[in-house]
Amino acid sequence: MTTEATEAAMAAGHAAEAAEKGGMPQLDFSTYPNQIFWLLVTLVVVYLILTKFALPRISSVLAERQGTITNDLAAAEELKLKAQEAEEAYNKALAEARVEAQRIANETRAAIKADLDKAIAKADAEIAAKTAEAQKAIAEIRAHALESVQEVAKDVAREIVALLGGKPDARSITAAVKAHLKGEKRP
Amino acid sequence: MEGDIVQMGAYIGAGLACMGMGGAAVGVGSIVGNYLSGALRNPSAAQSQTAMLFIGIAFSEAFGIFSFLVALLLMFAV
Amino acid sequence: MAAEAESETGLVFHPMEQFKIEPLFGEGPIHWYTITNQTLWMGIAVLVIFLLLVVGTSRRALVPSRIQSIGELAYGFVYKMVEDVAGKEGVKYFPYVMTLFMFIVVANFLGLIPTSFSTTSHIAVTVVMALMVFVGVTILGFVKHGIGFLKLFWVSSAPLALRPVLAIIEVISYFVRPVSHSIRLAGNIMAGHAVIEVFAAFAAILAIAPLSMLGIVAMYGMDMLVAFVQAYVFTILTCVYLKDALHPAH
């Protein structure tokens, strides 16, 4: 009811306005003070909102993000450098270790060789000593053997002479054995 | 009768005023076309000139809007 | 106007009805303090700006949420515009430019909501904003450069004989600035809404109703573009005028 009444009144008002001021609401100067007042209020409120809250906050967020990105990039760069350093250190250590290993191997080899030489020399000396001893023993044995051969030959010759009925004469037998042994040796 | 003639004149005037929009269309087309041909020749410089493109369009378009405004005034305000 | 536009075919054109300013409560004459439908939508614009730029960024997230990134995008967009066009010295006036941009762009897009009221289609509103820019920039120019600000009108690169003529043209174009600055914005918004209204009126005829609906959809998309581009243009022209005030020499 009331709405209808207001509508009717408004329509009447519109018609009156339209007849009075023409059609464009934009050119209805009676509303200008109202529009300008509220526009200024709006702009001031927006300006205050922006300068008090929004802009400092957004700029700080942006600056913070920029800072974080820069820091992260720097940290990444640092880590990369560290990794490179570590790799270099590793390579250096590896090379050093290799050299050390080489050195130890050489030393060991030299030590072993020295020991071996010493042992060989000792063994040679022992062998030489033993050889000399053995040769002496052989010579002795040979001398003994020669003597026993003479004795055996004398004994055999005496026995033979006795069997044949003769009288064994020691001197002549010895001379004969000697002559034989010499004769044997001669050819 | 007299009011009818005035109204007729206003309507005819409004229609005539709308021809101005064609001029604005030609102007905007010329600006964008030239921008595009320049941008295709040197694409690296195109990005920095988009602001100038919009300023040019805005200036050129304003006259079409003026003619539209005249038409509106003739239709509703006279 | 209703009596004029109503014709015998049954078509009813009220393209200007939507811009009518009415008191929100009750009726009667509109005083300077009356709360009207325009006041309501200005308040909604303020609310949207508050939600977008203050509430949306309240978490100060390092990785922004959607609303926060819209706010940051708007900030970066206007900041870069001011810095690029007006130079480093112009950054001082960035909050004013940002205020204008945020209000215009939010009001334009709010006006596109069906049955809403488009604040920026009113010449009173845009003229006030344009005059603020014009007067502010002129005062700034004279404060910064004193009488040297007048060099803006003296084109030193032109031949001497031509300079007085050019100076007259420059002065005229300087004083036409607020007019074109304001009419452009209001006219664009008004035109878009009026054309949608005209298409809507054609929908009353059954035969061409589908076509008119398509037309409404197309014009709506166009108006979305216009809503942003006009806010951009208003702001960038503000920056250009600011640059003229800061560096008047040609």
C161 touches C230 (CB < 8 A) = no
Q: In this predicted model, what pLDDT tens digit does every residue of C154-210 receive, in sequence order? A: 888 888 888 889 999 999 989 989 988 898 999 899 988 988 988 888 888 888 899
Asked if A24 reaches chain B (Cβ–Cβ under 8 Å), the answer is yes
SS3 C85: helix
Confidence of residue A184 (pLDDT cuts 50, 70, 90): low
Show residues of chain B in contact with C179, CB under 8 Å. none
The radius of gyration of chain C from alpha carbons, rounded to an integer in Å, stands at: 22
Q: In this predicted model, what pLDDT tens digit does every residue of A89-110 receive, in sequence order? A: 999 999 999 999 999 999 999 9
CB-nearest partner of C62 from A42, A58, A68:
A68
Q: Where are the domains of chain C?
A: 22-246
pLDDT the model gives residue A11 = 46
Q: In this predicted model, what pLDDT tens digit does every residue of B15-61 receive, in sequence order? A: 999 999 999 999 999 999 999 999 999 999 888 888 889 888 888 88
Strand-pair partners of C23: C36
Q: Is the dihedral of CA A34, A38, A40, A41 positive or negative?
A: positive
pLDDT the model gives residue C155 = 82
Q: Which two tokens stand for residue C250?
A: 């040609």
The one-letter amino acid at A40:
L
Cβ contact, residue pair A22, B77, below 8 Å: yes
Query: Which residues of A34-185 form beta strands (DSSP E)?
Result: none
CB proximity list for C129: less than 8 A, separation 6 or greater: A39, A43, C100, C104, C182, C234
The one-letter amino acid at C110:
L
Phi, psi of C23 (to 5 degrees): -65, 140
- The pLDDT of A158-166, averaged and rounded, is 82
Domains of chain B: 21-77 (1.20.20.10)
Show residues of chain C in contact with A27, CB under 8 Å. 123
A window 55-74, beta carbon within 8 A of B: none
Read out DSSP for C16-60? TGGG---BSSS-S---TT--BHHHHHHHHHHHHHHIIIIITTTT-
Phi, psi of A124 (to 5 degrees): -60, -45
Indicate whether A12 pLDDT > 80: no
Average model confidence (pLDDT) for chain A?
83
pLDDT the model gives residue A130 = 92
Show residues of chain B in contact with A22, CB under 8 Å. 76-78
Confidence of residue C149 (pLDDT cuts 50, 70, 90): confident
Q: In this predicted model, what pLDDT tens digit does every residue of C28-54 receive, in sequence order? A: 788 888 889 999 999 999 999 999 998
- The pLDDT of A9-13, averaged and rounded, is 45
Indicate whether C98 pLDDT > 80: yes
Average model confidence (pLDDT) for chain B?
88
**Total Cβ atoms within 10 A of residue C184:** 24
**Total Cβ atoms within 10 A of residue C152:** 20
- The pLDDT of C4-17, averaged and rounded, is 61
Indicate whether A14 pLDDT > 70: no
Confidence of residue C1 (pLDDT cuts 50, 70, 90): very low
Query: Can you state the angle between helices C123-145 and C94-111, rounded to 10 degrees?
Result: 170
pLDDT the model gives residue C146 = 87
Percent of chain C with pLDDT over 90: 47
Q: Which two tokens stand for residue A95?
A: 């090379």
pLDDT the model gives residue B26 = 95
Confidence of residue C250 (pLDDT cuts 50, 70, 90): low
Indicate whether C24 pLDDT > 90: no
